[in-house]
Amino acid sequence: MLDSALVWGDEAQEAFGRAANFMVNEHQENLAYNEILTNPDVLSDYTLTFFGPEGPYPVYESEAELVAPGYPTAAPQAYDQMPAPPQAEAPQQPGDFWGAFKQQMDVDPTQAWRVINQADPRTMANKLFVME
């Protein structure tokens, strides 16, 4: 039993050491972020390095630098070949809307949501305002 307690103590000490190292690293990283976000000179230097020629997102100065060898560049597709989006139906007038809604509720209440979907949002808002 003593041996298992010693093993457990060693494992706990290692776990605490890993946790302490993690917390120290996180604290240092937070200090670095704070420095970048509060010091304009550091932020400027970081931005110039990040978007510079050696950074992960270099900014190209000319179109010649954009050409990647081995990757052909093609003109974008013409948009007139794409189908036109469907046109929404015109909303009904408020007087017609409630009459059509009542008629639909009398005929087939399960399809009344279609009438409500076609309504102008102001029509519903006005009805709710009056009801309150």
The Cα 32–Cα 65 span in angstroms is 33
Verify that 57 and 14 share a domain, yes or no: yes
Place of tokens 């190209």: 60
Verify that 6 and 57 share a domain, yes or no: yes
The Cα 120–Cα 90 span in angstroms is 9
- The set of residues, in sequence order, having a beta carbon less than 8 Å from that of 51 and lying 6+ positions away, is 57, 58, 59
The Cα 29–Cα 39 span in angstroms is 15
Where is 1: in which H helix or E strand? none
Residue 89 lies in a domain: no
Residue 86 lies in a domain: no
Helix axes 121-131, 94-107, angle to 10 degrees: 80
Residue 39 lies in a domain: yes
Where is the domain boundary, 14, 36, 61? 61
Residue 45 lies in a domain: yes
Q: Considering the entire predicted model, what is its pTM?
A: 0.35
45's tokens = 């230097």
21's tokens = 């190292």
The Cα 47–Cα 39 span in angstroms is 12
Residue 10 lies in a domain: yes
Verify that 53 and 99 share a domain, yes or no: no
Number of domains in the chain: 2
Residue 77 lies in a domain: no
User: pLDDT in tens for each of the 132 residues of the chain?
Assistant: 788 888 899 999 999 999 999 999 999 999 988 998 899 999 998 888 888 777 777 666 677 766 666 655 666 666 666 677 777 666 555 557 778 888 888 888 888 878 888 777 777 777 776 665
Q: Which domain holds residue 124?
A: 94-131
Residue 78 lies in a domain: no
Where is the domain boundary, 61, 78, 104? 61
Verify that 57 and 102 share a domain, yes or no: no
Residue 122 lies in a domain: yes
The Cα 125–Cα 131 span in angstroms is 10
